[in-house]
Amino acid sequence: NAGVTQTPKFQVLKTGQSMTLQCAQDMNHEYMSWYRQDPGMGLRLIHYSVGAGITDQGEVPNGYNVSRSTTEDFPLRLLSAAPSQTSVYFCASSYSKISGSYNEQFFGPGTRLTVL
């Protein structure tokens, strides 16, 4: 298993440009999520999905769109990049139907995005 993969690893954008951060998992996990990591703020949830065709907003959704057409993929789209979106982005997944309340979330290696 490759686990959770993210592409690209690094990206530099100009203000106003659009791009898609890719996330894929091969563990048949139902739950997937996107976080951004900023200094002194920990990880903040952007969007999440509990299964194919179902998405919802997290703590900081503005400026980002997501879709979940398959179980494996959960891309994050920036429609018009802004300098405030400079951050490290992590995708995570977990299998929500395993018994109990302690399912481990598996994280991808991250995408470091700079918006100039």
Partner 1 sequence: GNSVTQMEGPVTLSEEAFLTINCTYTATGYPSLFWYVQYPGEGLQLLLKATKADDKGSNKGFEATYRKETTSFHLEKGSVQVSDSAVYFCALRALGNEKLTFGTGTRLTIIP
Contacting residue, 33, 55, 71, 85, with partner 1 by CB under 8 A: 33
Task: Based on the shown chain and the rule CB under 8 A, indicate whether residue 64 belongs to the binding site for partner 1.
Answer: no
> Per CB under 8 A, does 25 bind partner 1?
no
Q: Report the C-alpha gap between 28 and 14 in whole angstroms.
A: 35
Task: Please give the DSSP secondary-structure letter assigned to residue 84.
Answer: G
- Contact between 49 and 55 (Cβ < 8 Å): yes
Residue ranges that bind partner 1, judged by CB under 8 A: 4, 31, 33, 35, 40-45, 48, 50, 58, 90, 92, 94, 96, 100-105, 107-110
